[in-house]
């Protein structure tokens, strides 16, 4: 796409030129976006997938590659925002889905797969004694919060600035469609400030929901001391501590709770744990989750036509028991840590204000010279420069998320990691002039 010499006059000109190159290379995606725009607002049904001038339509995936409607091939580092851990064509998962499909898909009864998946997840995640399934991470967080409110008899919830717990639980950029709970928002990784906010609101807070690493917020890991403080204060005040591990569950064989040793009362899950199909789950202590037992008096109701849909249950059970074993989780995340170190070394060699934060198989590129520990630090990212790098990576056949999110999948080998490292090196070198002052 970058056949013309780069002029790099300034950041804005460089961006506009890159955008023109993208438009020239993707006429069919553009046509489809315009056509879809007649029946969907902005041609879109999932906000995160939109970027300017329009996203490429993806028509096929295989292994860790995707192809767009204009026939261009990319390495898939979007990885369905972490749900694509298994890649597009894992044979064991495909067999599990085919087998389930052949035996009827809307059985309207407990099926043979859900217990297998529940057993595997309760074994893997230290906080989960009992678990229930639903259809998305958003729904998992909704039910975890509702259960905490019902169990404690308190109305309010606590979350953190820039936390993302689903389409209606988004605490950044003035989201206008959040679920209308009375909500206390504290600053992520601020130990003393958060302790104070908890003490001031303890009487009416039912739950504290936290991502042990903010994913949508830019791959900002929680400090160990911050998580330990949350655990201690939740216990002291009888608040239900909920770890949203919808994304971070992939970061070890038992999520970040296993790595940090901080064990919440409840955990929410989603993404790849459905084997790549629609999935959500919430689980936790017997004391809280036992309330969902329909045989008990005053039990909590939790309905959902597709809570145990056979395709997801079958794919999820096979994925976690046969593919993303504890050993596979350790290996992928070690490779991810090494790759992130390598990319950071490239950025410092090129003397540009670019850095990669994250853990294991999830990382985020930032154009930002200062160390990143809090959402306020992320806010200082130069978004225009990140837009430019995004288009430059697309032009080189690397599909990453516009916000700089880069996710790894199991089918990726050294070839794909090398391709990412080479592309980052080239982009940072080609754009050194406009990036120099961008951080
Ligand atoms: C931390 C976190 N929680 C919850 C969700 C919502 O999950 P879903 O998109 O399945 O509703 C997401 C989705 O990206 C997430 O990253």
DSSP 263-301: --SEEEEEGGGGTTSS-EEEEE-HHHHGGG-TTSTTPPP
b/e per residue 291-310 (b: at least 16 CB within 10 A): bbeeeeeeebebeeeebbbb
CA of 312 to the centre of ligand 1 (A): 17
> What are 109-130's pLDDT values in tens digits?
999 999 999 999 999 999 999 9
> What are 204-239's pLDDT values in tens digits?
999 999 999 999 999 999 999 999 999 999 999 999
> What are 400-431's pLDDT values in tens digits?
999 999 999 999 999 999 999 999 999 999 99
> What residue's CA is closest to ligand 1, atom 16?
247
Mean pLDDT of 71-95: 98
Task: Report yes or no: 410 and 90 within 8 Å, Cβ to Cβ.
Answer: yes
- Tell me, using a 6 A CB cutoff, whether residue 284 lines ligand 1: no
CA of 137 to the centre of ligand 1 (A): 5
- Tell me, using a 6 A CB cutoff, whether residue 166 lines ligand 1: yes
At 7, the pLDDT band (50, 70, 90 cuts) reads low
Task: Report yes or no: 240 and 265 within 8 Å, Cβ to Cβ.
Answer: yes
What residues contact 356, with CB distance under 8 A and at least 6 apart?
340, 343, 344, 347, 363, 364, 365, 366, 406
pLDDT at 322 over 60: yes
Helices marked H in 87-190: 91-102, 114-124, 137-152
CA of 317 to the centre of ligand 1 (A): 20
Model-level pTM greater than 0.95? Answer: yes
pLDDT at 53 over 80: yes
Pocket test for ligand 1, best of 139, 219, 246, 304 (most atoms within 8 A of CB): 246
- DSSP lists the bridge partners of residue 97 as none
At 8, the pLDDT band (50, 70, 90 cuts) reads confident
> What are 173-212's pLDDT values in tens digits?
999 999 999 999 999 999 999 999 999 999 999 999 999 9
Per-residue pLDDT, 128? 98
- Tell me, using a 6 A CB cutoff, whether residue 270 lines ligand 1: yes
> What are 156-183's pLDDT values in tens digits?
999 999 999 999 999 999 999 999 999 9
Strand order in the sheet with 73-76: 58-62, 65-68, 73-76, 398-399
- Tell me, using a 6 A CB cutoff, whether residue 164 lines ligand 1: yes
CA of 270 to the centre of ligand 1 (A): 7
Per-residue pLDDT, 1? 47
- In this structure, are strands 354-359 and 362-367 parallel, antiparallel, or unpaired? antiparallel
SS3 57: coil
pLDDT at 5 over 70: no
- Tell me, using a 6 A CB cutoff, whether residue 87 lines ligand 1: no
> What is the rounded end-to-end Cα distance, in angstroms, of the chain?
26
Pocket test for ligand 1, best of 134, 177, 217, 271 (most atoms within 8 A of CB): 271
Per-residue pLDDT, 2? 47
The topology under which CATH files domain 91-323 is 3.40.640
Mean pLDDT of 370-383: 97
Task: Report yes or no: 69 and 234 within 8 Å, Cβ to Cβ.
Answer: no
């Amino acid at each position: 796409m970058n056949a013309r010499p780069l002029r790099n006059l300034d950041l804005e000109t460089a961006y506009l030129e890159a955008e023109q190159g993208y438009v020239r290379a993707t006429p069919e995606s553009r046509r489809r976006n315009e056509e879809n725009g007649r029946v969907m607002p902005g041609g879109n049904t999932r906000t995160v997938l939109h970027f300017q001038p329009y996203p490429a339509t993806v028509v096929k995936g295989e292994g860790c590659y995707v192809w767009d409607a204009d026939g261009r091939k990319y390495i898939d580092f979007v990885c369905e925002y972490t749900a694509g851990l298994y890649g597009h064509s894992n044979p064991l998962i495909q067999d599990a889905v085919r087998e389930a499909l052949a035996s009827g898909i809307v059985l309207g009864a407990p099926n043979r797969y859900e217990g297998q998946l529940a057993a595997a997840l309760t074994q893997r995640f230290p906080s989960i004694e009992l678990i229930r399934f639903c259809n998305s991470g958003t729904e998992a967080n909704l039910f975890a919060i509702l259960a905490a409110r019902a169990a404690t008899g308190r109305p309010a919830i606590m979350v953190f600035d820039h936390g993302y717990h689903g389409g209606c639980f988004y605490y950044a950029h003035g989201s206008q469609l959040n679920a209308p709970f009375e909500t206390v928002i504290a600053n992520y990784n601020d130990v003393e400030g958060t302790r104070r906010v908890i003490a001031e609101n303890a009487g009416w807070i039912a739950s504290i929901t936290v991502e042990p690493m903010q994913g949508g917020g830019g791959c900002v890991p929680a400090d160990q001391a911050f998580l330990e403080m949350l655990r201690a204060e939740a216990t002291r005040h009888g608040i239900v501590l909920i770890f949203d591990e919808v994304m971070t569950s992939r970061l070890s064989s038992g999520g970040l709770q296993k790595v940090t040793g901080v064990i919440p009362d409840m955990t929410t899950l989603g993404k790849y744990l459905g084997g790549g199909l629609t999935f959500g789950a919430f689980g936790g202590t017997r004391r809280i989750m036992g309330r969902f037992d329909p045989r008990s008096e005053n039990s909590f109701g939790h309905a959902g036509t597709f809570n145990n849909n056979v395709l997801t249950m079958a794919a999820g059970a096979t994925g976690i028991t046969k593919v993303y074993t504890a050993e596979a989780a350790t290996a992928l995340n070690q490779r991810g840590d090494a790759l992130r170190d390598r990319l950071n070394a490239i950025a410092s060699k090129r003397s540009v204000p670019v850095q990669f934060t994250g853990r294991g198989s999830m990382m985020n590129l930032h154009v930002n010279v200062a160390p990143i520990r809090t959402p306020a630090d992320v806010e200082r990212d130069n978004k225009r420069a990140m837009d430019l790098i995004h288009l430059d990576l697309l032009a080189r056949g690397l599909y990453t998320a516009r916000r700089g999110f880069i996710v790894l999948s199991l089918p990726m080998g050294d070839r794909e990691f090398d391709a990412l490292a080479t592309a980052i090196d080239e982009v940072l070198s080609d754009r050194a002039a406009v990036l120099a002052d961008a951080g």
